[in-house]
Structure 1
């Protein structure tokens, strides 16, 4: 069944998965996940080995991120859960605020919008600068009496740059507001990059005003999916994150995360991998991947139609094209060549981009990747930019995201050559579909993709 899946090993998938390239690490992680698959993290007194592993991992993260002696943390299922808990804790710490808000740069991860939706915290969006970094003065001006949280990224997912954390965290602290650093991507890379002598802007708990940090172990900790760590500067800040309920006849529910029952497998897998690789191992993996980023950026500069959107501060690279071709044709061509890269639709006045998350396993393949990328660009230039016919473009723009009917969605499927009706399959080519989505507003993109997901996830029933 996995034959059609993108590969999770081998360094040819540059989104969604993170591969150390170390066979021993993969083996020990899988063995630990299997050994603890039936263990339940709901009650640490019933499974003290899970408690020990969690405290060990949190301690490692605290040491790595310059946490003070009183810092505490929790292992979660991934970056999104860490973000949700950071927002929920900030909201619940200020019960007197009737309409809580959080200040976000427009480049903040979509998980914060999910948290806003779930917890009723209104996002106050602040435009970033030409360098795609949050603007400290604008962020400070956006802080109001109802602000419960200010957010910065280290780095941002879409562009791979670190926000000016020191200035923004200072402004938040001056107003008595929490500041969360989303380091889900960079948290296990940037400290080692600094040790290697690379320029890294200050962003850890060494910065006054930083109250919480999220860092994913299933990214550049190279652990199995899915584990993240949410750190708080002190126990008082974490307390609102916990949930307890004794107002029923069963056991008193006590949770540190959104989940109650949770397999011990991911936690055990992360603990095993982190201890197998070790501090020196992560330093070497970081050296490998950052050297690969340097070679990749230099190579992209030699492919005429391409340019890097922003000089990367870590392991993420975003690139775009000139008017001779489009990123959607390039990503399809790369898929056919055996490489998975991630297209990013245009946002406001920006052009569509291609996102690349490099991992250590990709480092030996950079030159091979650049060769494939150059060929994909040649193919895209020969084909020319995708042109959406005026009638189809008009049809898409006329769709109402608040009232998208089945007939509307079937019409879109027909427009892109996919069968309408009761079901929908996975398309072989995404270029035309992405070009259509790029014409749509963010609200319409959301509505269309929700409709697509709904059609895609329909049950297989037994024939009787």
Structure 2
């Protein structure tokens, strides 16, 4: 194929994707609305796409850019001169490394991490990967914030086995800041590490007024994760894992000389890693600077407030909790369901993310506001009103009782291809030749998943992903 044919083919493939610019995809992507910054990031990404961060002595420019990003972050997060940091591929890798580092440093049998129910699922993944027991404790049912008393009970119960406590700044599902100071007052006297997951809030909260202390200004916070490919508006693939001092980071590194090749030395999960995302982040951060991020944050926060005010004026909807940042959880009454509402919003050109029910918390819609969305909030609210009217007219989805019973009766440990084929047929996801086929309307599928127990939901989605990628 010629280069022109290949580029045209890529354009055709890309046409089926959600848009990454324009501020209408309210999850997964974050748009500054500044075209020049986007072009700069792409240029740096291409310039450094062939470099390799495996060996910082081979590509010293990557080491310098990493140092520069950590230096930029130091005053943002009230870090002391001793603060150190590492650039990772994203928030999940930063969290994986935070858990792995705490586990290795503690060197205890049957290590435990204590987290609130609302902590990001990346901590579940880290615990699973690294053989650490995850103890999740309930949050305040009104504020959705971590409950220090519940964390304290867990610390007493698990004692010296606890290697890490983690809280959110803010939580992804509800957009609220956990009480970091109160939790630090529990972990600090016990000598337990405290990680603040600021992956989604790290480039917003430093420029947000009237918040309680949540970062290294709190005595006892030992590490922070903060993504740049979210609200630093850089191309995908960049996060920072920051440690209060080098002693807390040391166990993060991995080295192996016990083979005949080069001595493997890594600061991250990856060995070979492209320098492109790092260079792109370095370029975009230098482009915006402190003043630029302050302006973008104020735009995004203004848009967020406009959304919460607008939702309050729409019948059948409510803002679940007043957000501390740029994330809004929207709930609905019994006249409609949020899964249908999500489909109807997509019909109108807006992607909003449905969140399943959890314990006593009902299903909600998640909205992440970026700077580019702020000017379009009136259009968003108009589409939301129209979608609510249509969803009310359609009525809430009722999951067939037999299907509900079947979903509840599934044993995730024995979900084989035959059982999965039957479920695909029942759920309306079956295509030809054993393939899966996503329907035009996801609401019935999401409603079915919502009534399934979490373990069954996980097994069904793993099986679905397996089939989708065959």
TM-score range, shorter chain: over 0.9
Asked if 1:110 is matched to 2:125, the reply is no
The answer for the alignment partner of 1:62 in structure 2 is 74
Query: Contact (CA 8 Å) 1:399, 1:408: kept in 2 or not?
Result: no
Asked if 1:82 is matched to 2:94, the reply is yes
Q: 1:455 Cα deviation (Å)?
A: 0.3
The answer for the alignment partner of 2:10 in structure 1 is none
Asked if 1:237 is matched to 2:252, the reply is no
Deviations 1:4-54 (A, max 9, x none): 100000000000000000000100000000000000000011101111100
Q: Distance in 2 between matches of 1:366 and 1:274?
A: 26
Q: 1:2 Cα deviation (Å)?
A: 0.7
Deviations 1:215-252 (A, max 9, x none): 00000000000100000000010000000011111111
The answer for the alignment partner of 1:302 in structure 2 is 313
TM-score (norm 2): 0.95
Query: Contact (CA 8 Å) 2:429, 2:438: kept in 1 or not?
Result: no
Q: Distance in 2 between matches of 1:412 and 1:20?
A: 42
Q: 1:418 Cα deviation (Å)?
A: 2.5
Aligned residue runs from structure 1 range 185-224, under 5 A? 185-193=200-208, 198-224=209-235
Q: 1:169 Cα deviation (Å)?
A: 1.2
The answer for the alignment partner of 1:171 in structure 2 is 186
Q: What secondary structure does 1:74 align onto? A: strand
Q: Distance in 2 between matches of 1:3 and 1:453?
A: 22
Query: Contact (CA 8 Å) 1:333, 1:376: kept in 2 or not?
Result: yes
* Residue correspondences, number: 453
Q: Distance in 2 between matches of 1:408 and 1:379?
A: 35
Task: Show structure 1 runs of 5+ residues with no match.
Answer: 459-464
Q: Distance in 2 between matches of 1:183 and 1:7?
A: 25
Q: Pick from 25, 33, 36: which aligns with 2:37?
A: 25
Aligned residue runs from structure 1 range 4-23, under 5 A? 4-23=16-35
Q: Distance in 1 between matches of 2:210 and 2:316?
A: 29
Asked if 1:160 is matched to 2:184, the reply is no
Q: What secondary structure does 2:113 align onto? A: strand
Asked if 1:400 is matched to 2:415, the reply is no
Q: Distance in 1 between matches of 2:162 and 2:404?
A: 40
Asked if 1:149 is matched to 2:164, the reply is yes
Query: Contact (CA 8 Å) 1:106, 1:126: kept in 2 or not?
Result: yes
Once the two structures are overlaid, the 10-residue window that deviates more, 177-186 or 421-430, is 421-430
Q: Distance in 2 between matches of 1:173 and 1:449?
A: 39
The answer for the alignment partner of 2:196 in structure 1 is 181
TM-score (norm 1): 0.97
Q: Distance in 2 between matches of 1:132 and 1:418?
A: 34
Where in structure 1 do 4 or more consecutive aligned residues deviate above 4 Å? Answer: none
Q: Distance in 2 between matches of 1:415 and 1:89?
A: 44
Asked if 1:319 is matched to 2:319, the reply is no
The answer for the alignment partner of 2:444 in structure 1 is 432
Task: Show structure 2 runs of 5+ residues with no match.
Answer: 1-12
Q: What secondary structure does 1:93 align onto? A: helix
Q: Pick from 278, 282, 289: which aligns with 1:278?
A: 289
Q: Distance in 1 between matches of 2:428 and 2:273?
A: 42
Q: 1:396 Cα deviation (Å)?
A: 1.5
Once the two structures are overlaid, the 10-residue window that deviates more, 251-260 or 422-431, is 422-431
Q: Distance in 2 between matches of 1:418 and 1:402?
A: 21
Q: Pick from 349, 353, 371: which aligns with 1:360?
A: 371
